[in-house]
Amino acid sequence: MSTSDKTVLSVVIPVHNEADNIQPLYMVLDPVLKHVSKNAYEIIFVDDGSHDSTARVIADLHGMNGRVKLLSLSKNFGKEIALAAGIAAASGEAIILMDGDGQHPVDRIPDLVSAWKQGWQVVVGVRTHNRNEGLVKKYGSKLFYALFNRLSGQRMVPGSSDFRLIDRAVQQEFIKLNEPQSITRGLIDWLGFKRAYVTYAAHPRMHGPASYTFRNLSKLAAHSFVSLSPAPLYAFGYLGLAITGVSFVLGLAVLIEQIILNDPLSWDFTGTAMLSILVLFLVGLTLVSQGVLALYISYIHTQSKGRPLYVVNHRESRGL
Ligand code: UDP
Ligand code: MG
C-alpha cells in the first residue's frame, strides 16, 4: 500500500434513523477531514438497524465518495455496540467517534487531531453546556457522574462524552475487550493511555427526536455501573451489618434489664416488642448473608469480564 492511500483519520458515526441528518453532517464534515488529514480519511457510518432511509442515504454518499463507508448492522443493537462495531472496522491511525445528529461540533475536530499529533492517545471532548437539554437529562447526567466516580473508583470528568479521538494503539486494546452492555467511553477510560481534554458546546439536534429516551439512558447507566463496579451489591451487606448490630445491642439490653435483673428501670417491654427485635435481628442476618454472597458474586463478576490484567502502551525493546 502506498502512503497516499493509507488512512490517517477514521471517523466513526453510529446512526439510528438519522436519514435527514446525514447529508448536512457530511457537507460540513468532509471539508474539515480533507483539510486536517490531507485527504487520507474515511467516514464509517454504522447503521444501527434504522427503519428509515438512513442506509440508502449513506450508500448514495458512498457512490459519490469512496471514503464514505457503510457498516450496516442486522438490527438495532444500541449506540454503544454500534460504536464498538465501527471502532473495530476503522483502519486509521487515529479514530474519531461522533454522533450523527450534528450535536458534536465538526469544527472541534482539528483540535482533537492536533492534541493527538502532540502525543495524546485519547482526546476526550468535554461538553460544557447543552442549551436544549431537559432538566431531567441535565441533572440525571450530573447524578450519574457523581455516583459513577464514587462507585467505580475511576475518575470520569463530568461532561466527558463519546465525542473523542482514540489512537490506533487504544483501538487495538479496545477490540480485545468483549463486554456486552458496557458503556464505550467507560471502557476507553478504563484502558488508560495518555489522555487530554478538549471542551465543546453541544449543538441542538439537527432533525428528528433523540433515539435515547429517559428509560434507555437509565438502563445504560445501570448497566455501566454493573459492568464497572460491584459496589451496589455490597451496599445491602453493610445495611444488614448495621441492622444486626443495632438489634443485637437492643436485644442484649432487654435480656439483661428485663429477664436477668427483673426490670429495675421499669422498661416494661412487651413480648411483641421483644419479638420485633428478634425479627429485626434475623432480617439483618439475611442481609449480611447477601453481602457475603456479594463478595463471591463480585469475584465471579470480575473474572467473567475477562479483562486483561494490564494494558501495555508501547515497548522499547524488540522481542519483549
Ligand atoms: N444511535 C444509535 N443507535 C441507537 C440510538 C442512537 O446508533 O440505538 C445514534 C444516533 O443516531 C446518534 C447517536 O447515537 O447518532 C446519539 O444518539 P441520540 O442523539 O439519540 O442521543 P443523545 O444525543 O441524547 O445522547
Ligand atoms: Mg444526540
* CA 258 vs CA 197, 261, 266, 319: distances in Å: 65, 6, 8, 77
Q: Average pLDDT in the 85-113 region? A: 92
Instruction: Quote the pTM value.
Output: 0.71
Q: Give the model's pLDDT for residue 267.
A: 79
Residue 67 has pLDDT above 70, yes or no: yes
Q: What percent of the chain has pLDDT over 70?
A: 89
**CA quadruple 125, 128, 133, 135: dihedral, nearest 10:** 120
Which ligand is in closest contact with the Cα of 58?
1
Residue 42 has pLDDT above 90, yes or no: yes
The reply to whether CATH 3.90.550.10 applies to domain 9-228 is yes
Q: Give the model's pLDDT for residue 129.
A: 67
Does any ligand 1 atom lie closer than 6 A to the CB of residue 86?
A: no
Q: Closest ligand 1 atom to the C-alpha of 202?
A: 23
What is the chain's mean pLDDT, rounded? 84
Residue 1 has pLDDT above 50, yes or no: no
Q: State how far the Cα of 257 lies from the Cα of 255, in Å rounded to an integer.
A: 6
Q: Closest ligand 1 atom to the C-alpha of 13?
A: 15
Q: Model confidence at 204, in pLDDT bands (50, 70, 90)?
A: confident
Helix H or strand E segment including 161: strand 160-167
221-232 residue pLDDT tens: 777 666 666 677
Rounded to 5°, the CA angle 251-256-260 comes to 135
Closest CA relative to residue 57, chosen from 24, 86, 98: 24
Does any ligand 1 atom lie closer than 6 A to the CB of residue 136?
A: no
Q: State how far the Cα of 104 lies from the Cα of 112, in Å rounded to an integer.
A: 12
Residue 161 has pLDDT above 80, yes or no: yes
Give the residue extent of every domain in the chain.
9-228, 231-305
